[in-house]
């Protein structure tokens, strides 16, 4: 009988620790604030590495999250829906691009504010965008010579080199 009480108490402690980890994960991940803010959309030709919950940053500071994504069946562009913090007002000429978070990190949406006096309203869209850049593909092209890399100024090109 004494052993059953200890096992029950130990099981309760394990459940409390697990609940603490869940609360911690939601608070660190910023998932508790997905519903707050206002919605903005942007169209990208390549949205590789962006998923629901990805960060939206401005000047390196998280100001929102990606709330959804879909594919335009006519243009085949990726439509990214973002939730932006209510305290951040985006000028109407804001631009968006997808950038990697380090060499091997995940991607996030970076917003560059414009100089317009008008702001993007709830449900508005960002017109100027730049899709994801595949760093691994660029490195592969550089290493294996598969890219259109022009020779440096003053360096001989392949057709001007003569062998004697």
Residues 20 and 82 in one domain: no
26 and 92 share a domain?
Answer: no
- Distance in angstroms (rounded) separating the CA atoms of residues 13 and 86: 39
Residues 63 and 75 in one domain: yes
Query: 41 in a domain, yes or no?
Result: yes
Task: Give the pTM.
Answer: 0.63
Helix (H, G, I), strand (E, B) or coil at 63: strand
Q: Strands 128-130 and 95-100: what pairing?
A: parallel
As a whole number of angstroms, the longest Cα–Cα distance in the chain is 96
Cα separations (Å) of 3 from 6, 10, 14, 115?
A: 5, 11, 17, 70
Domain span including residue 95: 36-144
The long-range contacts involving 69-78, CB below 8 angstroms and separated by at least 24 positions, are: 72/43, 75/43, 77/43, 77/44, 77/45, 78/43, 78/44, 78/45, 78/46, 78/47, 78/50, 78/131
Gap between the Cα atoms of 47 and 72, Å rounded: 12
* Chain segment 137-155, per-residue pLDDT in tens: 778 888 887 655 555 555 5
Q: Are residues 67 and 126 in the same domain?
A: yes
Q: How many domains does the chain have?
A: 2
How confident is the model over 26-73, as pLDDT tens digits? 766 555 444 578 999 999 998 888 999 899 999 989 999 999 999 999
């Amino acid at each position: 009988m004494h052993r059953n009480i200890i096992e029950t108490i130990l099981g309760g402690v394990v459940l409390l620790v697990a609940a603490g980890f869940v609360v911690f994960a939601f608070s660190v991940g910023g998932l508790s604030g997905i519903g707050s803010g206002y919605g903005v959309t942007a169209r990208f030709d390549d949205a590789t590495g962006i998923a629901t919950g990805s960060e939206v940053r401005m000047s390196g500071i998280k100001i929102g999250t990606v709330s959804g994504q879909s594919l335009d069946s006519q243009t085949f562009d990726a439509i990214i829906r973002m939730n932006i913090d209510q305290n951040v007002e985006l000028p109407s000429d804001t631009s968006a691009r997808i950038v990697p978070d380090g060499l091997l990190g995940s991607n996030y949406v970076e917003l560059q504010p414009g100089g317009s006096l008008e702001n993007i309203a709830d449900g508005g869209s960002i017109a100027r965008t730049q899709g994801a850049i595949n760093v691994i593909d660029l490195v592969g092209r550089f290493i294996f010579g598969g890219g259109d890399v022009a020779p440096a100024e003053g360096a001989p090109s392949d057709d001007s080199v003569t062998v004697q």
